[in-house]
Chain A
Amino acid sequence: MQRSLKRGKKVSKVVAFVILLLVSVIFLLPLLWGLFGSFRSHDDFYLHPESFFPSNISAFTFDGYAELFSKTEYVSSEANEYYPIWNWLFNSVIVAFGGTVIYLIIASLAAYAFVFLDFKYANKIFYFLICTMTIPGIISTTPQLINMNLLGVYKTLLGLIIPSFGGVYGVFLIKQFFTGIPKDLIENARIDGASNLKIFLKVVLPLGKSAIFVEGLFGFMGAWNDVQWAQLIIGNAPRTTWTLAYGLKVISDQCESYEAITLSLASAIIAMIPIFIVYLVAQSKIIEGVANTGIKR
């Protein structure tokens, strides 16, 4: 009985391994095809569409990248094929990185207030905040656009950054983590005469930095990948204020012909590289962060 149970486990492990291998391969294949495709000459796509890799060594080329970066200067005769990709990269970094850092500062200050400064109605206010999370975002999409207009940040990068500052989820996550910090530590620091700012900087932040980091990762990825809001805010702006994720959509629309396939794949790969680096560095943290949302709630 015991032995058959063990063997059964082994068999199921082998079956699981095979199926998972298959699924992982299917999930990774399109990405790899895109990666190799960005190094293929477009004639190779035309002659050997069935080939997964560049079909021979001479079909391997950097032309796609070279062409993409040759279109970063504005030429009035080819106004449609003007892809200032350095600007886009820079803008994406500003939006994703700058916006996230500022939000994290605001949110962790608020979380500190909710956990360690026991003021009147703190719990009730926080409960109210959590309730607002259930309001679907689509309700405020239109008015938010007007709001950005009123603040004068329509068609600017600031218009992409500041709406996220009102988000509740980050405060919620960071507060959850701060609640786990022993209150005695804070009390001791207070008795030693430390100010709240000092406690926040010297005690709470060092202890909570992993939670804040994880929240930051998600904020970064969300802002980097955003297309919907970007289309509304900067879609009508000059091309130099676009972000990479939005610019890609335009590249994909304008590069329908097979001659442009290498170029469009190259642009897709470029937009993926920063996110991929983040994933490589912090893969376990990201996965742990996603997992925690399922366990703690």
Chain B
Amino acid sequence: MEKLVNLKEFARKKEKRKSTFLKFLNVGSFLGPYTISFLMFFVFPLVLGIIMSFSKFKSTSIMPSQIGTIDNYAVLFKDSAIARDFWKSVWTTFKFCLCVVPLSILIPLGLALLVNTKPPLYKFFRAAIYLPGIFPLTSTGLILMRLFDSHYGFVNSIFNLTTDWFGDVASCWFIIGLFCVWCGIGGNFIIFCAGLENVDKSLYEASDVDGCGKFRKFLHVTLPAIKPQLFLNLFTTFIGYMNVYGQIYMLASNNPDLGEMKSAVYRIQDLLVGSNPMSFGYAAAMGICLGVLIIFVSIIQLILNKERKVSKHAKKFEAWKESK
């Protein structure tokens, strides 16, 4: 009898062990491919990047010749040519963001408000405004270059201008901004459209009963309701344009003052395209500097978002409750 019980126990134990083994096998086979690729193409480069930024390279090998030096950072924070160029480019990128990000938020928001009134053909308009952004930047950029060509361009000839749009720094930035609005607002626009669609209609009816004006309705009903979308767009657009490269690469590479046009990523890309391993250490260090800057600004945005979430009245109410 006792033996039988033992046998049962044994069978159960074996069954259990078998099932945990099976489970492990299952999880392994489903998660395995992704784990490997995540480690290989995400974690490893990240770690390698940090190591590289603390390494010295010789021009003959892609492997670091000396690890554990802060020379790269020292050069970047010293008064050297590389440092001057890099930080100037970071500042340029930042200024560019300050100009383009508000446009990339306000223009799509305005257009989404118009679409939200549901005029005839609004679905067509939505599709048309989203359209330019889906194409390769090189295609749309090439068309733009030809359109604004100084001699044979359509724009110059119908407005009777002789402006060399791509030869001058200021006008080149203007065209790049135009490019970013033309091909870059699609996503934000669609997200705003969806956000506006999801605003609770009864809120508008209630504000109608209260006799709210259009502007107050927008300020007190619409804006709070689409705040998540507003912050999402602000966040992603800002990060996106801190990394701006393609637009400048496409439109400004013939500019005589290319140095004034280079964004931070453009500098890094320059070092890498030359494929002289000597500069890889600087490139890695620059990447980390720019990345940390982006994270820093994102954190500020997140904190602002959190603070806004708790409204003034709620805070007052909390304070009042505390005092009781």
Interface residues of A (CB under 8 A from B): 5, 9, 12-14, 16-17, 19-21, 23-24, 27-28, 30-31, 33-34, 37, 45-46, 49-50, 52, 105-107, 109-110, 112-114, 117, 119, 129, 132, 134-147, 149-150, 162-168, 171, 196, 200, 221, 224-225, 227-228, 231-232, 235-236, 244-246, 248-249, 251-253, 256, 258, 261, 264-265, 267-269, 271-272, 275-276, 279, 283, 286-287, 290-295, 297
Contacts and interface: CB of A to CB of B under 8 A. Distances in A.
Contact of B30 (A109, A145, A249): A109
Nearest to A224: B136
- Sorting the interface of chain B by its residue count into under 10, 10 to 19, 20 to 34 or 35 or more gives 35 or more
19 contacts: A20-B114, A21-B125, A28-B132, A31-B131, A49-B157, A50-B157, A138-B290, A146-B62, A149-B62, A163-B41, A166-B38, A228-B249, A252-B145, A265-B142, A275-B135, A286-B130, A287-B126, A290-B186, A290-B187
Interface string B150-168: 0111101110000000000
A12 to B, nearest CB: 6
Nearest to A20: B125
B68 to A, nearest CB: 17
A136 B48 contact: no
A267 B138 CA distance: 10
Given A20-B114, A23-B125, 5 more contacts: A16-B119, A110-B31, A138-B287, A293-B232, A295-B195
Nearest to A171: B34
Interface string B225-242: 000110011000001001
Task: Tell me whether chain B's interface is mostly helix, strand or loop, or mixed.
Answer: helix
Contacts, number: 301
Contacts of B191: 290-291, 293-294
Residue with the highest number of chain A CB atoms closer than 10 Å, among B35, B187, B194: B194
A141 to B, nearest CB: 6
A293 B193 CA distance: 12
A265 to B, nearest CB: 6
Sorted nearest first, the 9 A-B pairs with minimum C-beta distance are A166-B41, A294-B191, A291-B194, A110-B34, A34-B143, A166-B42, A165-B37, A113-B30, A143-B48
Given A142-B49, A166-B40, A113 B31 contact: yes
